[in-house]
Chain A
Amino acid sequence: MVGIRIVKRQAPLGFWGACLVLFSALLLSLLLSGVLLFLGGTPPIKGIITLFQGAFCSRWALEDSVLKAIPIFLCSLGVAVAFRLKIWNIGAEGQFALGAVGATWVALTFPDWPKFVLLPAMICMAMVAGGAWGFIPALLRQRLKTNEIIVTLMLNYIAILFLDYLVYGVWKDPTSFGFPMTPSFSDQAIVGKIGSSTINWGLAHCLVLGVLVWGFFKYTRIGFEVKAAGDSVRAAKYAGLPYDRLVILVMVMSGALAGWAGFLEASATVNRLQPSIMVGYGYTAIVVAWLARLNPLGIGVASILLAGLRVGVENLQLDLQVPAAFGGILEGLILLTVLAGGFFTYYRFERRKKR
């Protein structure tokens, strides 16, 4: 009798093993999407090559991928902080929107401030607004025992509609011929580009914030407390960890980072506030965080990968007339295969011996 059985590992899978599993998972998701392309009447190999060429194989494509990776990275860094405590913040999208709104308010109200005052002020306001949007579900969870998944998800819609209200109403640019957008920011309110590239200095923000978050978990006492409490709530209470305060902290941090991403998107990418900045970076961030197993460096790599996917799909759409929804499908497939691959961290298959 030959069969396969599941065996628990004595020690979790090592680094290289984990890499192998990750790559196999990505490969499997590509294979499955190839099948989908085939069913849709597109030659699969050509489709996938077009996808990658469109994402990484020209300077323009690469720059566009990095540009899209910036907000994804910051949102993902944020949700990863909350996920460490096993607090499921699905609200990066809304926190991102609020961050953009907060930064825009500063940019429109004080357009004449010098750059070195205005930009930090915009960042602060974006973090406060995004953080507040994270604080609400944390507070509700504690006071009313609500589920943070549902509350953060619902707050997303409120935030997006609030943004719409502003750009269709009070903040609408009178010279925009009816398009929903605010007036363009003053030069002092814009984060510039690096050299001659189209990539903005937000990339540097990402590097600094990534290192800070990494250091937070590695070297600080509170970082350790978040990690420990994330592993076991009961042990946290036993050890006298301030669990309730940690929940508030990670949700505010999470929201502030997503808010920062919103600031960059408004200031550096579109130079104003408009509804088109809401393209689901906050949801992609969740996929990225899991792909990277919450590791900041991994989040960097995964956000470029998934941003590339978004750019590549545009190419696919132009060249082979594949619908844009294919990008969302591929993203979902990647999340599924990677999560399923997580099984191999603690378990393995064993061939049943023939007797």
Chain B
Amino acid sequence: MGHRIPVCYTNCGDGEKLTMTGAVPLIRLENISKSFGSVYANEDVSLEIEEGKILALLGENGAGKSTLMSILAGQLQPDSGTIYLQGQPVVFSTTEKAISGGIGMVYQHFKLVDAMTVVENIFLGQKGASWLRWKEMRRAVRDLAELYGMDVDPAARISELSMGERQQVEILKLLHRKSSILIFDEPTAVLTPREADNLFATMKKMIELGKGIVFISHKLDEVMAIADNIAILRRGQIVDKIAADKVSSTAELAERMVGREVLLKVDRQPLEPRQIVLKVTGLSDSVLKEVTLSVRQGEILGLVGVAGNGQKPLVETICGLKKPTRDRVRILGMDWARFFKNPEWDKALSYIPEDRQGLATCQGLDLLDNFLLTTRDGFCKGPWLQRETARNKAVRVIEDFDIRPPDINAFAWQLSGGNLQKMVLAREFFRKPRLIVAEQPTQGLDIAATEDVWNLLLKAREAAGILLVTGDIAEALALSDRIGVMYNGRIVEIFYSDDEEKIDLIPQMMAGLRSSENSKT
């Protein structure tokens, strides 16, 4: 361990290539290139995945991580370059070939059948005997789970499982197929901190047992905590390969990744809070319990908590997708029902949802139509829609926000996650909202894009009150004037973000170890 991996093998001849530790790597990618149109997604990428090591793959959005992994998984073919499986050149022309070669992908969105049990999912699609031997199958799954320190009930239905447990099923599926290389695509994005710790323990166990792991993540501290080697992709090229213990801090890693110093600290000047733009009083439903909060113009209220503790119904109620039981919500001084009866398009409410692809945009429409989605009322004259006026405005907005490709006729599905999020922000800020509900606004975004989004939100705060719902405490601390913690449908406590004593207690509040009743006494 701890060697700097040779960056390029180009002139080393065609013979067997060894790593510095002297072993043949499980998988070696040599000079892989792949382009889409005129853009290189991967250019001359050489990489090796070793037995018993965790390789972290870091890179901004659109740096080419997913392309590289798709090539490895047999979904895409490289334009040039070779894949070596234990020293032998191979072609993964189909996903089946990649699977039989030992490649296993754990996708962000699980590929499980919700209505089936754990055992059924694990054995699904496997060839062999025509008769099912349930007892043996269950035992096989249980043994495998035990071996890797996982705790899953083989008879449980997927729909009953938490995200963490579902991920374990995905992993078990791959292990059962005897995958020797496991690729995790941002595996912690859907997990609670505790589940993430369990995942890391499982990963450690896997490398002990001789598997190779590729870990794709945006969370630098996770990479520092678990990786043996780190490879950094930028604009399709490997710009750095380094052993994790040679990296001194996450800040250094961030710098290597974006090519410039990013401390992820934004300059937040306190503003004088003005009138109340959102007031929720004692809101309850099947999940929420007596939620009370208010947001004033000029402040950011950061709502933190583990996902699934009531954030979703709260946000959906505030944003008009779900009716509150009674008039417990007032927006811009109006009752919920009155506000949503005839909502103004501008100087009102903007909702920046977590689901950019499914909720905030129409994937099959171009950027102009997506721009018009929530701003259409601003470009209407009677029944007519003034497309040309809108087009001019949208082109300028795309330029201002540096959205790529800067092409108004591009379809939403052609944009990367970060650029799509910028498009949503650009559109929503164009409406000059006075109340913004931002839900996980930087999830899945790279550091540069995150910083952009944070600065945009801080700037928007001058005219608006912002409810920031996030699972990332660092984000809440960096942006919020006040912080609220949600647990089990309740707001545990709301405090000012300079209250160090309370900040230290956030993890306990998130875990439900401190209730609001206790804190009052």
Stretch at the interface among B105-113, B115-123, B182-190, B371-379: B371-379
- Chain A neighbourhood of B343, CB < 8 A: 240
The smallest beta-carbon distance between A353 and chain B, in angstroms, is: 7
Let me know if A227 is at the binding interface, CB within 8 A: yes
A219 and B384 in contact, given A5-B77, A238-B351, A240-B343 (Cβ under 8 angstroms):
yes
Let me know if A139 is at the binding interface, CB within 8 A: no
- Establish whether residues A238 and B321, one from each chain, have CB atoms under 8 Å apart when the complex forms: yes
- Chain A neighbourhood of B294, CB < 8 A: none
- Establish whether residues B362 and A231, one from each chain, have CB atoms under 8 Å apart when the complex forms: yes
A232 partner, pick from B36, B89, B363, B414, beta carbons under 8 A: B363
8 A Cβ contacts from A122-138 to B: none
CA of A222 to CA of B358 in the docked complex: distance in angstroms? 22
- Establish whether residues A234 and B358, one from each chain, have CB atoms under 8 Å apart when the complex forms: yes
- Establish whether residues A221 and B364, one from each chain, have CB atoms under 8 Å apart when the complex forms: no
- Establish whether residues B365 and A237, one from each chain, have CB atoms under 8 Å apart when the complex forms: no
A220 and B384 in contact, given A10-B36, A231-B364, A355-B91 (Cβ under 8 angstroms):
yes
The smallest beta-carbon distance between A241 and chain B, in angstroms, is: 8
> Residue among A11, A224, A237 with the most chain B CB within 10 A?
A224
- Chain A neighbourhood of B360, CB < 8 A: 235, 238
Let me know if B270 is at the binding interface, CB within 8 A: no
- Establish whether residues A239 and B91, one from each chain, have CB atoms under 8 Å apart when the complex forms: no
CA of A224 to CA of B94 in the docked complex: distance in angstroms? 41
- Chain A neighbourhood of B37, CB < 8 A: 10-11
- Establish whether residues A221 and B385, one from each chain, have CB atoms under 8 Å apart when the complex forms: yes
8 A Cβ contacts from B87-109 to A: 89, 91, 93-94
Let me know if B259 is at the binding interface, CB within 8 A: no
CA of A302 to CA of B235 in the docked complex: distance in angstroms? 46
- Establish whether residues A224 and B77, one from each chain, have CB atoms under 8 Å apart when the complex forms: no
Let me know if B132 is at the binding interface, CB within 8 A: no
- Chain A neighbourhood of B383, CB < 8 A: 220-222
Number of interface residues of B (CB under 8 A): 34
- Chain A neighbourhood of B91, CB < 8 A: 1, 353, 355
Let me know if A12 is at the binding interface, CB within 8 A: yes
- Establish whether residues B361 and A11, one from each chain, have CB atoms under 8 Å apart when the complex forms: no
Quick one: CB contact mask for A230-251 with B, threshold 8 Å, 1 for yes? 0110110111100000000000
The smallest beta-carbon distance between B311 and chain A, in angstroms, is: 17
- Establish whether residues B77 and A352, one from each chain, have CB atoms under 8 Å apart when the complex forms: yes
- Establish whether residues A221 and B376, one from each chain, have CB atoms under 8 Å apart when the complex forms: yes
8 A Cβ contacts from A1-37 to B: 1, 3, 5, 7, 10-12
Let me know if A319 is at the binding interface, CB within 8 A: no
A221 and B384 in contact, given A1-B93, A10-B414 (Cβ under 8 angstroms):
yes
Let me know if A339 is at the binding interface, CB within 8 A: no
Chain A residue at minimal CB-CB distance from B372? A224
Let me know if A112 is at the binding interface, CB within 8 A: no
8 A Cβ contacts from B405-430 to A: 411, 414
- Establish whether residues A11 and B358, one from each chain, have CB atoms under 8 Å apart when the complex forms: no
- Establish whether residues A235 and B359, one from each chain, have CB atoms under 8 Å apart when the complex forms: yes
B362 partner, pick from A221, A235, A355, beta carbons under 8 A: A235
A228 partner, pick from B77, B89, B362, B380, beta carbons under 8 A: B362
- Establish whether residues A239 and B93, one from each chain, have CB atoms under 8 Å apart when the complex forms: no
8 A Cβ contacts from B151-207 to A: none
- Establish whether residues B321 and A237, one from each chain, have CB atoms under 8 Å apart when the complex forms: yes
- Establish whether residues B380 and A221, one from each chain, have CB atoms under 8 Å apart when the complex forms: yes
CA of A195 to CA of B94 in the docked complex: distance in angstroms? 64
8 A Cβ contacts from A212-229 to B: 218-225, 227-228
Let me know if A350 is at the binding interface, CB within 8 A: yes
Let me know if B484 is at the binding interface, CB within 8 A: no
- Chain A neighbourhood of B76, CB < 8 A: 7
The smallest beta-carbon distance between B77 and chain A, in angstroms, is: 7
Binding site for B on A (CB under 8 A): 1, 3, 5, 7, 10-12, 218-225, 227-228, 231-232, 234-235, 237-240, 350, 352-353, 355
The 3 closest A-B pairs by CB, nearest first: A231-B362, A231-B364, A221-B385
